[in-house]
Amino acid sequence: MSKKVTIKIDGREFEVDNELSILQAARQNGIYIPAICYSDRFGAIGACRICAVEIAGMKKPMLSCAGKVKDGMEVTTNSPALDELRREIIYEWDTFHPLQCGVCDKSGECDLQNINYEFNISENPKEAQTDPLTIPQGTIHYEWKIIHHDANLCIQCRRCVAVCDKVVNFGILALVKKDGDRKEIDTKDGKPLDCEFCGQCVSVCPTGAMSSKLFKYKARAWEMEKIPTTCGFCSSGCQMDLNVKNNEILRVTSEESTPNMANLCNLGRFNYSVSKSDRLIKEYSIDSKVLNQESMILELSQILKNTPKEKIFGISGARETQEDNLAFKMFFNNTLSNNNIDSLSSTHIAKLYKYLPQSVNGLHDFSEISESDLIICFGGDIANEMPRIDWAITRGAKLLKTSKVASVYWKDTKIDTLGSIPLRYEPGKELDFLASFAYALKSEGFGAGLDGLENLKESDVDVSSIIEEVKKASKIAFIVCE
């Protein structure tokens, strides 16, 4: 359990949570420490070393991203020795990083470029000591789909490795050994990249080593206008920015300050071509008749006019946006003057709550999932249905290491790779699981709100493995899939 400790940073005293790193404590209190490889999305890596600080009583600098605060600790974030250490690291990066800023897509938003400006580095003394012919030629992965990877631009911060493993839970990238002592970021098996192609590696790359082939040479960062919007491909509501030039969306990005912490799935990041008018459906079919849009609207209007309003019903999909569902409802309520509408997602939740304790409340924030002791994922493949919940589950199980995961479905899914407790039932037997789960809860003394179970049939689904975890947990997230 966390508690407060008192530390000093650059002579100023602060009271902070003892579970924070030195870097996190400094940032929370408005103190800047340079850091290239760290991100709140996946935590400390310790690869760039530029976040090193001095600790009173210690002979050598400590990496602030990895070192935890301690009561009475005194931290110095800037000194001549630290400045020299950081410059040496930047000189090393610059020596092996080709000067291609003029044609690099990352120019204008490159962390390496920014850190050189920050330290006012206009020349590199190491360049004169290095024979250009001895600098190894890195691999350029032209064969990868969507993602362009140029190892010559890589500073080996391993951010791409961390986000792929600790956020996406795919873990296909690694720093692998090449010829001699040389190392490069590559797939673990050396084969062409074959993954979800979410582009998270592109979003965290501090240089232009990882980039999008769909965006390559389209525009410079400062030429585009960023238009904030909400992703509509699922109900997660991820916040993102449409990067627009000449009224055309050239790429999609997101900021770490957003609730989704800059994380986007493959649809949110790369499927912006849906905004183009040429992708619109040109032909429609009603009763096997192929119609254009204008004829379709006329035909549908005639059908609605000739049908008694009380006999018109509508069902919306489970993945529509709130705005789409509201428009659908308003059309029925205001135009057709009836309320004969339903949604694929509106009934199973209500049925589920009928059989769960009254103390069960809806989640108000995705962070509540990551902070739960036990996460029960029921009835679907959450990674495909709602990636943002998948990221929250992965964060709790893999990064924060606070959560155990139970996967309740009729087949294996991606979250099983988190070491989850697998519980399988036959397709269509969801109610049998709920019956067994509810009876087991009641038999273990979790009886509040479980009255009326005599209406449920007995089930042979074995839920003992999950019940044991329920008894240990103080906070449980029960996630119902589509």
Task: Tell me the C-alpha distance between 83 and 179, whole Å.
Answer: 34
Torsion of CA 97, 99, 100, 105, to 10 degrees: 60
pLDDT at residue 253, as a whole number:
97
The lowest-confidence range among 81-90, 233-242, 279-288, 323-332 is: 279-288
pLDDT at residue 456, as a whole number:
56
Q: In CATH terms, is domain 349-480 a member of 3.30.450.20?
A: no
Q: Write out pLDDT tens, residues 74-128.
A: 999 999 999 999 999 999 998 888 777 888 899 999 999 999 999 999 888 877 7
Determine phi and psi for 124, rounding to 5 degrees.
Answer: -120, 110
Q: Write out pLDDT tens, residues 221-257.
A: 999 999 999 998 887 889 999 999 999 999 999 999 9
With 60 as the cut, is the pLDDT of residue 156 above it? yes
pTM of the model as a whole: 0.85
Higher pLDDT, residue 70 or 291: 70
- Overall size of the chain counted in residues: 482
With 90 as the cut, is the pLDDT of residue 36 above it? yes
N- to C-terminal Cα distance for the chain? Answer: 35
Element housing 292 (H / E): none
- For the domain 4-78, what is the CATH code? 3.10.20.740
Q: Where are the domains of the chain?
A: 4-78, 127-275, 284-343, 349-480
Q: Which residues pair with 190 in a beta bridge?
A: none
Contact predicate 238/231, CB 8 Å: yes
- What percent of the chain stands above pLDDT 90? 65
Q: Write out pLDDT tens, residues 357-390.
A: 555 666 778 889 999 999 999 999 999 888 999 9
- Cβ neighbors of 331 (< 8 A, separation 6 or more) are none
Average pLDDT of the segment spanning 125-142: 80
Give the burial string for 279-297 (b: 16+ CB within 10 Å, else e).
eeeeeeeeeeeeeeeeebe
DSSP string for 298-315: HHHHHHHHTS-GGG--EE
pLDDT, averaged across the chain: 89
Domain 4-78 and domain 349-480, same fold? Reply is no
Half-sphere exposure of 196 (CA within 13 A, CB side): 23
Average pLDDT of the segment spanning 390-413: 94
Of 105, 203, 21, 1, the residue nearest 9 (C-alpha) = 21
pLDDT at residue 399, as a whole number:
93
Higher pLDDT, residue 293 or 416: 416
Contact predicate 22/30, CB 8 Å: no
Q: Write out pLDDT tens, residues 192-206.
A: 999 999 999 999 999
Torsion of CA 67, 73, 78, 81, to 10 degrees: -80
SS3 229: strand
Per-residue confidence band for 179, with pLDDT thresholds at 50, 70 and 90: confident
The lowest-confidence range among 42-56, 223-237, 319-333 is: 319-333
Per-residue confidence band for 416, with pLDDT thresholds at 50, 70 and 90: very high
Structure-token pair, residue 469 = 């975890």
With 60 as the cut, is the pLDDT of residue 453 above it? no
Distances (CA, A) of 60 to 25, 38, 42, 85: 20, 20, 26, 11
Contact predicate 279/307, CB 8 Å: no
- What percent of the chain stands above pLDDT 70? 92
Average pLDDT of the segment spanning 259-266: 95
pLDDT at residue 316, as a whole number:
85
With 70 as the cut, is the pLDDT of residue 344 above it? no
Q: 127-275, which class in CATH?
A: alpha beta
Of 143, 142, 199, the residue nearest 167 (C-alpha) = 199
